[in-house]
Amino acid sequence: MRGISPDDVTAIIEGRVTDPFDVFGPRHRGRAGILVAFDPHATAMEAITPSGILRLDAAGQGVFCGDIGRRRRYRLRATDGTRSWEYEDPYRFGPVLGAMDLYLVGEGTHRRLWDALGAHPMTHEGTEGVHFALWAPNARRVSVVGSFNGWDGRRAPMRQRGGGVWEIFIPGLQPGESYKYEIAPPTGAPFLKADPLARLTEHPPATASRVLAPQEWTWADGAWMQSRAGANSREAPISIYEAHLGSWRHRDGRSLSYREAAEDLVGYAQDMGFTHIELMPLAEYPFGGSWGYQPTGLYAPTSRYGDPDDFRALIDAAHARGIGVLMDWVPAHFPNDAHGVAHFDGTPLYEHADPREGFHPDWNTHIYNFGRTEVKNFLTANAVYWLREFHLDGLRVDAVASMLYRDYSRGPGAWVPNKDGGRENYEAIDFLREMNTLAYGEGPPGLMTVAEESTAWPGVTAPAHHGGLGFGFKWNMGRLNDTLDYIKREPVHRTHHHTQLTFGLVSAFSE
């Protein structure tokens, strides 16, 4: 058939199109123009243009082709013999991401990564829809799939851009749509992945991402944020109440929602005289029976308790009562769930290829490749995202010790030394320094970062430019553990162990 080769028809039907904008949509050569469209449910298809209706010829199994001349605006109308439907063709729209976005993503320095990648409702070239963008540099093909296209990866393959980025604008989609990416790896069969930059997810145990509507929340915590900016947090009194939202209190046999916690949890913390609430991890995680320390959706507050604006309502309510909110943040490792970022594009992308560096034996999880700039950018931007977009007053960074040492919980021969032959993880150290520098430099003033670091690593709270890690505070885990151990002893024996009550204060003179 003129305008499309038999090989292209076969590639479309078999889902092997790697350059979809060179196959689908209008392709103009001077005054001539060929339109190719695909809908496996259609038996006939027309292009509706401002100047008339063009019937497309069937090339087989849902592939259609026809002469469109110089026309660039059209809608497609398909029929299966009993019903018909109209839709905009994604392949008549140009790219969305500019050269600077692509450069920064490829360089690993995009400070607002969540604005470039992920799913974003927008008006593009005069048409409303959703823009999808993903980083998957080793994939042969990436497609957006959802109920809107029958979860068929042949329907919406994405345009490959520079720096390993794929993107497509799908007209007509609305906020709330569930979606995943179908990724064809370098070798082997395609598989489905959730969006690492999704800001909204389905309620677990479902694992699809969802398109988030543009933020409409109006913050009412201006006085709090202004007061926080002028406070000296290192000298101010602080008393933190740690809570796991899923188990703290129940109503009718279920966990509290974010908005219910805004009343019950915040009210309790205020009545008890706490200055801050520390919420255990709320980034989306798959296993409901856990505390959330193995997240798969770092940019999405878990949908178990509501949507992102509901989470904002909780923080706003706390600030209205003079209480700060910290959140546990987990950049050390991630689970191997099939929909997560493990082996994301068919290669060890977010993790190390060598399990001696990329797999954690204690938790059966993968370790981020902190030395890869794009991965480091994914994590540092995420820290800033939570602080800016949700007005969190700080992040308590989990499992810092496991990041600092290459031999953490590993025996001889089970770890890879650094370039100097030592056990220090230089890449993780650089990541933590950069994360803290960006958090304090680009987050709202007056925030804090807190390290959960269980060893005697020097300079955890020293400035990064002075050789420290740059944290604002360090959890005094030694005092906690020593005090609990002291209390467990029989009273008659405690007189010989009073040093356990004082030893934990030693680090107060260096951290």
| Residue 39 among the catalytic residues | no
Query: How far, in Å, CA of 128 to CA of 170, rounded?
Result: 9
Query: How far, in Å, CA of 423 to CA of 444, rounded?
Result: 35
Phi then psi for 136, rounded to 5 degrees?
-155, 75
Q: Which of 88, 167, 307, 452 is catalytic?
A: 452
b/e map 470-505, b = 16+ CB within 10 Å? bbbbbbbbbbeebeeeeeeeeeeeeeeeeebeeebe
Q: How many residues does the chain have?
A: 511
Nearest C-alpha neighbor of 285 from the set 267, 275, 299:
299
Phi then psi for 424, rounded to 5 degrees?
-70, 140
Number of H helices, E strands in the chain: 13, 28
Cβ–Cβ < 8 Å for 169, 129: yes
Q: Which of 182, 284, 398, 434 is catalytic?
A: 398
Query: How far, in Å, CA of 318 to CA of 269, rounded?
Result: 9
Residues in contact with 149: Cβ distance below 8 Å, sequence separation at least 6, in sequence order = 155, 156
Q: Which residue has the tokens 């389905």?
A: 202
Nearest C-alpha neighbor of 406 from the set 374, 437, 370:
370
Cβ–Cβ < 8 Å for 419, 406: no
DSSP 412: T
Straight-line distance from the first to the last Cα atom of the chain, in angstroms, rounded to the nearest whole number: 74
At 209 the three-state DSSP class reads strand
| Residue 398 among the catalytic residues | yes
Q: Which two tokens stand for residue 462?
A: 């020293």
Query: How far, in Å, CA of 348 to CA of 227, rounded?
Result: 45
Q: Which residues are catalytic?
A: 398, 452
